Structure 1
Amino acid sequence: MKRLLLVFAGLMLVACSKKEPPPEPVRPVLSIKVQALGEENLGRFAGNIQARYESNVGFRVPGRIASRAVDVGAEVEKGALLASLDPTDQQNQLRSAEGDLASVQAQFINAQATARRQQDLFDRGVGSQAQLDAAQTDLKTTQASLDQARAAVNQARDQLNYVELRTDHKAVVTAWNAEAGQTVTAGQQVVTLAQPDIKEAVIDLPDTLIDQLPKDVVFQVASQLNPQITTTATVREIEPQAESTTRTRRARLTLTETPTAFRLGTAISVTLSSTVKPRIELPLTALQEVEGKPRIWVVDPQTQTVSPRDVSVISRTDNSVVLAYGVKNGDRIVTAGVNSLKPGQKVKVDEDSAQ
């Protein structure tokens, strides 16, 4: 009996000495819920809103700028005065032309009287044909001089009118290239005018990107101050040659719609994208290499456990990886700590990443 009691006690001691292994700890992880991408982002570029039509205007006569009537940014109506020259030279030219005209008019009146007298004398038979011919020739010569003098007066008046620089259409003043007191030549660029009715987006694109743009590229234009204000655009013109220092080419885009907030000079950002076959893009930290084969860890939302899944990689960058298969929309993928996970391990999804 004592022997049986001792055996039983020994068995009890052996049983108590065998402890159950502790449960696997729940590991907190970062994760994301994946979504298939249906378009490829080709980049975002800064630009501004400009008028499609701009004109550089100047005076039609040389002279010294006496005054400027408007500043940059001013909206002007058709016929508005922009600037004026000192009119002294043009006024003197007009006075000289008017004096020449008065002299020639007197000569013409005298030539008319002489021609009439010679005609009367010839008709009465007391005047010679030679004298009549000379009088009529002098009259024609004087008539030509009179026409020339009148044209000179008209030209001098036009020159005087040209000392005022006026607009021939409604416009916005975008730049001044000359100041009051400066002497300018005829045709020299003085002020830049933009027609505000038709606007476009202007950006500079890398020369290498332009050669690779797909036909279905989409230009999304947004205001930098208020990104909620957006519209789309299409390419109207791309400069044929790249700028030598930046290796960029200027692109002018026709806006599908022109929001009111898109005023001339408004800073914008233009995002380029194109439609692609749906694909999955994940952070590079979500990828694990096992014996040269890529795989990811998928969280089971019911059991809160993880399991590995083999994937095929299309491309990768320093920060992300694009997968061809192995994951689908709605899967939750671990994005940090993948090298310390085990199949079936319970995890706690970080609240910040459980979106």
Structure 2
Amino acid sequence: MKRLSLMVLSGLMLGACSKEEPPPEPVRPVLYMEVKAQATENLGRFAGNIAARYESTLGFRVSGRIASRSVDVGSEVEKGQLLATLDPTDLQNQLRSSQGDLARVEAQYINAQANARRQQELFDRGVGAQAALDVAVTDLKTTQSSFNQAKASVQQAQDQLSYSELRTDHAAVVTEWKAEAGQVVSAGQQVVTLARPDIKEAVIDLPAPLAEQLPQDVVFKVASQLEPDINTTATLRELEPQAEASTRTRRARLTLADTPAAFRLGTAISVTLSSAIEPRIELPANALQEVDGKTQVWIVDMQNQTVSPHPVNVLSRGDDTLVVSGVKGGERVVTAGVNSLKPGQKVKVDKDSPR
């Protein structure tokens, strides 16, 4: 009987001891991220292209039918190179007619000169009349004026004939033809567009609301769409004052800080806009926990492999992220499993977690 009582007493004592020492909390695996303060704000990314800063559209200075085109779109041309010609037949006929008029008037002028000399000689010998000399001098002046006018007409006809050839006045690249061979064009009508390849710029279309509120310190990063590693920065040179009616965008022209060789005319580019802001912390939405009306995150103590709650203030909310204050750059914040954590709990840090 005494032995039975001792066994019961021992069992009760062992049961009491087991209640006083609860099992340790399980070590929970967690994902975390290292907090990094953001000092810039991304305003968007837009597609564009590399264009020449200076373009010119040329046309013939006379009317006529285009007889030939000497270069194609994309061709590089030198100063003075022939681009296109008009049918010169009518202009050549005008030149021949002017040259005929000049020959006729020149003969009259030579005859008036000879007559004026004869009348002057007769008058000097006292056998000529003053009236006859005056008539000869007047006729000479009249024919001289006609002669000068005929020479000017010939020069004008020669210039008109030369205008039947369209030449470039600077080195350029042909970007567009606006008329075809055989087409009749008028004087001054746009025929071909040339771009100077020595000075290039980036061209993009920005949404009107963004264009109207661009920060003063906005930074443009320009990169090739095919080779993103080829990039440079740019500054805003020109912003069109009015938005395009159908797209509600405003064209922006950017001056490149430098021009990589891969940035050829027409190269497709992507332009990222950013601006400096007060440093802020951005966290995924699932890293925050609401407890008793307060928002907190769990900070990982990497040395002890434990977690502790830390209050934060939410400054703004996005679709999947929040901007907060109350944490510092370099701290590790749990991003998954926050609802099953307790202060001081041991955790197992996932080595594949983003850092």
Alignment TM-score, normalising by the size of structure 2: 0.91
Give the 5 Å matches for 1:34-53: 34-53=35-54
Which is further off, 275-284 or 162-171?
275-284
Paired residues for 1:142-291 under 5 Å: 142-291=143-292
1:13 offset after TM fit, Å?
5.0
* Alpha-carbon distance change, 263 to 132 in structure 1, aligned in 2, over 3 angstroms: same
**Alignment of 1:121 onto 2:134:** no
Matches within 5 A, 1:78-157: 78-157=79-158
Moved more, 247-256 or 22-31: 22-31
- Structure 1 range deviating more: 73-82 or 214-223: 214-223
SS of alignment partner, residue 97 of structure 2: helix
Mapping of 1:38-77 within 5 angstroms?
A: 38-77=39-78
- CA-CA distance at 1:98 after TM superposition: 0.8
Query: 1 CA distance for matches of 2:151 and 2:201?
Result: 48
Flag structure 2 segments of 5+ consecutive residues without an equivalent: none
1:312 and 2:309 aligned: no
- Code of the aligned partner of 1:50: A
Residues 159-194 of structure 1 deviation map (CA, whole Å, 9 limit, x = unaligned): 111111111111111111111111111111111111
Q: Partners of 2:67 and 2:293 in 1: how far apart? A: 80
**Letter of the structure 1 residue corresponding to residue 93 of structure 2:** N
Say if 1:181 and 1:347 are closer, same or farther in 2 by CA, change over 3 A.
Answer: farther
1:198-255 Cα deviation digits (max 9, x unpaired): 1112222222223322222222222222222222222222122222222222222211
Structure 2 SS opposite 1:263: coil
CA distance in 2, matches of 1:289, 1:154: 92
How much is the aligned-residue C-alpha RMSD, in angstroms?
Answer: 2.2
1:333 matched to which residue of 2? 333
Secondary structure of the residue aligned to 1:49 is strand
Structure 1 counterpart SS, 2:336:
coil
Moved more, 49-58 or 221-230: 221-230
Q: 1: CA distance between counterparts of 2:162 and 2:302?
A: 84
How many residues are paired up? 352
Q: Please give the secondary structure, in 1, of the residue aligned with 2:277.
A: strand
Report what 1:7 is aligned to. 5
| Counterpart residue number, 1:302 | 303
CA distance in 1, matches of 2:238, 2:336: 46
Q: Distance in 1 between matches of 2:158 and 2:336?
A: 83
1:348 counterpart residue number: 348
2:33 counterpart residue number: 32
Structure 2 Cα separation of the partners of residues 228 and 106 of structure 1: 76
> Which digits, 9 at most, give the CA deviation of each residue in 1:282-334, with x for residues without a partner?
11221222233221122222333332211012212112111122x11222212
Percent of paired sites with the same residue: 71
**Which moved further from structure 2: 327-336 or 16-25?**
16-25
The worse-fitting range, judged by mean Cα deviation, of 45-54 and 299-308 is 299-308
CA distance in 2, matches of 1:332, 1:260: 43
CA distance in 2 between partners of 1:188 and 1:281 (Å): 58
| Structure 2 CA distance for aligned equivalents of residues 194 and 340 of structure 1 | 65
Counterpart residue identity of residue 40, structure 1: E
Q: Residue 91 of structure 1 aligns to a residue in which SS?
A: helix
Deviates further, 94-103 or 257-266 = 257-266
Could you tell which deviates more after superposition, 19-28 or 114-123? 19-28
Q: Which runs of 5+ in 1 are unaligned?
A: none
User: In structure 2, what residue type is equivalent to 1:349?
Assistant: V
**Structure 1 residue 16 displacement after superposition:** 6.8
What is the one-letter code of the residue matched to 2:237? R
Q: Which amino acid aligns with 1:6?
A: L
CA distance in 1, matches of 2:181, 2:136: 54
- Distance in 2 separating the partners of 1:12 and 1:118: 165
Q: Residue 333 of structure 1 aligns to which amino acid in structure 2?
A: V
CA gap 1:31/1:254 in 2 versus in 1, 3 angstroms: same
Residue 96 of structure 1, CA deviation:
1.0
Amino acid at match of 1:276: I
